[in-house]
Homo-oligomer: A and B are copies of this chain.
Amino acid sequence: MIRPAELIQRKRDGGELEPDELAELVLGYARDEVPDYQMAAFCMAVFFRGLSPAETFALTDAMVRSGDTLDLASALGRTVVDKHSTGGVGDKTSIAVGPVVAACGVPFGKMSGRGLGHTGGTLDKLEAIPGFRVELSEEEFVAQVREVGLAIIGQTGDLVPADKRLYGLRDVTATVDNVQLIAASIMSKKIAAGADAIVLDVKVGDGAFMKTLEDARTLARTMIELGERAGRRVACLLTDMDQPLGRAVGNALELREARATLRGEGPSDFTELVLSASAHLLAFSDLGIDEAEGRRRAEATLGDGSALERYERWIRAQGGDPSEDVLPQAPVVRPVEAPTGGHVHALRALPVGIAALELGAGRVRKDDAIDHAVGVVCMRKRGDAVQPGEALAELHAPDEDAATASAEAVLAAYELGPEAPPERPIVLDVVT
């Protein structure tokens, strides 16, 4: 029988908890035996004191044990891979990586989430497709990964209930920003969802949770250690989120861009991230190839139409119509023109994400409705030249007033200068 107040006090005073104490705390919380207020105080103590690697693993493991788990490897007799991003502006990577990897013959099974605030969620983007079902049963999920090689669905209700509850609590108690709690939250979901190998895309910069490369590296190392303790192979790409990923920000707009990328016509930064993530996933797979060979095979799928074909099979399998024509279009499309000429020195991701949110592409509160058609397309990105009066961006708005309001915000996200800024790669570092 644990006494939560004692555990809170020990953590508060800088002590370390035993794995079984942490497990009792978390599982007691999931069973409603430990109240929210004690868990809130504990999380705030963790914010100030941190968790040791052993504590972080015990927390993660307990969260996994709080609900059901999938064992995709046993169900499929194959190594199943998964990819996860910490969330950024314009991040439609999974929607392109899934088909590329599946087209290379490696099963890709992913449970994804919805967006809140300035970052969108993969499920919301997929729901821009008429008919697309994100709620599959576990059996349907496994069957589709087996038959189509690919499924992206919403988290099932019984997976990691402790994390769901804890995250909701942290969100309203200012205890989200702690690297061990973030790592435990992400990795518990990945471990419970059953993939053997996971590539994590840790966003760094203005529009991301991790503002500095150093913080991102710490999070990456923490997550890799958690994965390895749980017997999973994990690699982390640290990728640039000072500016939006690709050009499109907004659900249907991003789907179009993902689709274009799958036929080899995507923006260079997004294409590079898709290929890099796919290469790491293929190297973790049971194909027995290295990353360089993985990258060659991934590139081939963009050129030979097999990635796009797999995308279409996948969308149909989940009840959607994969053609571009059915995607919703915003009634008002208007350019944001460059007031002067020059080069784009910066295009801050956060204000672009907020502009898309305010156009209706995202949610401020959990039950807000989303307008799948609206958003922002960044025609010019860092390093691009622009003449006065040329379009920096294109607004897809529900009406003229909304377009006018967001035009100012998007323009303010741009910094122009006379010379091109130094180049900055999309993949800043890889931690394995």
Whether B48 and A9, one on each chain, are in contact in the complex, defined by CB atoms closer than 8 angstroms, is: no
Bound: A132/B6 CA distance, A? 37
Collect the chain B residues with CB atoms within 8 Å of residue A8's CB. Answer: 44, 173-174
Whether A38 and B38, one on each chain, are in contact in the complex, defined by CB atoms closer than 8 angstroms, is: no
Whether A37 and B5, one on each chain, are in contact in the complex, defined by CB atoms closer than 8 angstroms, is: no
Bound: A171/B37 CA distance, A? 11
Collect the chain B residues with CB atoms within 8 Å of residue A172's CB. Answer: 4-5, 37-38
User: Which residues of chain A from 30 to 46 have any CB-CB distance to chain B below 8 Å in the complex?
Assistant: 35-41, 43-45
User: A169 — nearest CB in chain B belongs to which residue?
Assistant: B37
Given contacts A8-B173, A172-B4, contact A41 B38 (CB under 8 A): no
Q: Choose from B6, B36, B47, B48 the contact partner of A37 (Cβ within 8 Å).
A: B36
Collect the chain B residues with CB atoms within 8 Å of residue A174's CB. Answer: 5-6, 8-9, 12, 41, 45
Asked if A175 is at the interface (CB within 8 A of a chain B CB), the reply is yes
Collect the chain B residues with CB atoms within 8 Å of residue A38's CB. Answer: 40, 172-173
Bound: A6/B173 CA distance, A? 9
Whether A175 and B41, one on each chain, are in contact in the complex, defined by CB atoms closer than 8 angstroms, is: yes
Collect the chain B residues with CB atoms within 8 Å of residue A45's CB. Answer: 44, 174
- Smallest beta-carbon distance A346→chain B, Å: 26
Collect the chain B residues with CB atoms within 8 Å of residue A40's CB. Answer: 36-38, 40-41, 44, 173
Collect the chain B residues with CB atoms within 8 Å of residue A171's CB. Answer: 5
Residue interface mask A41-60, B partner, CB < 8 A = 1? 10111011000000000000
Bound: A234/B91 CA distance, A? 61
Bound: A267/B319 CA distance, A? 88
Bound: A39/B174 CA distance, A? 11
Collect the chain B residues with CB atoms within 8 Å of residue A6's CB. Answer: 174
User: A170 — nearest CB in chain B belongs to which residue?
Assistant: B41
Collect the chain B residues with CB atoms within 8 Å of residue A41's CB. Answer: 40-41, 43-44, 173-175
Bound: A34/B171 CA distance, A? 15
- Smallest beta-carbon distance A73→chain B, Å: 38
- Smallest beta-carbon distance A32→chain B, Å: 13
Question: Which of A6, A169, A171 has the most C-beta atoms of chain B within 10 angstroms of its own C-beta?
Answer: A169
Bound: A175/B45 CA distance, A? 10
Residue interface mask A142-185, B partner, CB < 8 A = 1? 00000000000000000000000000010111110000000000
User: A8 — nearest CB in chain B belongs to which residue?
Assistant: B174
User: A175 — nearest CB in chain B belongs to which residue?
Assistant: B41
- Smallest beta-carbon distance A11→chain B, Å: 8
Residue interface mask A74-94, B partner, CB < 8 A = 1? 000000000000000000000
Bound: A40/B12 CA distance, A? 13
Q: Choose from B4, B35, B36, B44 the contact partner of A44 (Cβ within 8 Å).
A: B44
29 A-B Cβ contacts within 8 A? A4-B172, A5-B171, A5-B173, A6-B174, A8-B174, A12-B44, A12-B47, A12-B174, A36-B37, A37-B37, A37-B39, A37-B40, A37-B169, A37-B172, A37-B173, A38-B40, A38-B172, A40-B41, A40-B173, A41-B41, A41-B43, A41-B44, A41-B173, A41-B174, A41-B175, A44-B44, A44-B45, A45-B174, A48-B48
Which 10 interchain pairs have the tightest Cβ spacing? A44-B44, A41-B173, A9-B174, A36-B37, A37-B40, A8-B174, A40-B41, A40-B40, A41-B44, A37-B37
Seen from chain A, the residues whose Cβ lies within 8 Å of a Cβ on chain B are 4-6, 8-9, 12, 35-41, 43-45, 47-48, 169, 171-175
Apart from A12-B174, A36-B40: 14 A-B pairs, beta carbons within 8 A: A4-B172, A5-B171, A8-B174, A35-B36, A35-B37, A36-B36, A36-B37, A38-B40, A38-B172, A40-B173, A41-B41, A41-B175, A44-B45, A48-B48
